[in-house]
Amino acid sequence: MKKEEIIKHTLMEMKGADGLLHNNFGDDCDDYVDLVIATLSKRLPEGELKICKDFRILGVSCCECCHKGYAHYEMSLEELKDGSRAWMCCTVRYVLRKRGAVSQAAGAVAKDAKATEVEPNHREDGRE
């Protein structure tokens, strides 16, 4: 699926029962639609991407929060070992990582980023 198709699909999935896209406060908001589109446009690369539906064979139920609530923030872009890229929810990502299908390079980047984080309330001089 291409970037534009994913954005369109995401907006459809995020709509409430009333058919409107709502912001965090439950109010319909055109600005929120613009925010979702802008955020996805920045996060998604050009080219073909796999999506959760491409992994139905895993028999995993997708995460509703990732798909409906805050897809523009919660969904993840991962590089797979076969060299392809996938836009997926946390549940599918978890299963693929557990099976070793996600590229080690992607995991190493996340691990390195976490290693550089400083614990809250920790100072280099030893004082709290």
Residue pLDDT, tens place only, 8-40? 999 988 887 677 776 665 555 778 888 899 999
Q: How far apart are CA 97 and CA 33, in angstroms?
A: 31
- CA nearest 67: which of 45, 90, 43? 90
Q: How far apart are CA 41 and CA 17, in angstroms?
A: 25
- CA nearest 1: which of 81, 37, 55? 55
Local structure of 22: helix, strand or coil: strand
Q: Output 113 or 14, whichever has higher pLDDT.
A: 14
- CA nearest 60: which of 87, 30, 25, 95? 95
pLDDT at 105 over 90: no
Token pair for 1 = 């699926």
Token pair for 9 = 């699909």
Q: Output 43 or 106, whichever has higher pLDDT.
A: 43
pLDDT value of residue 104: 59
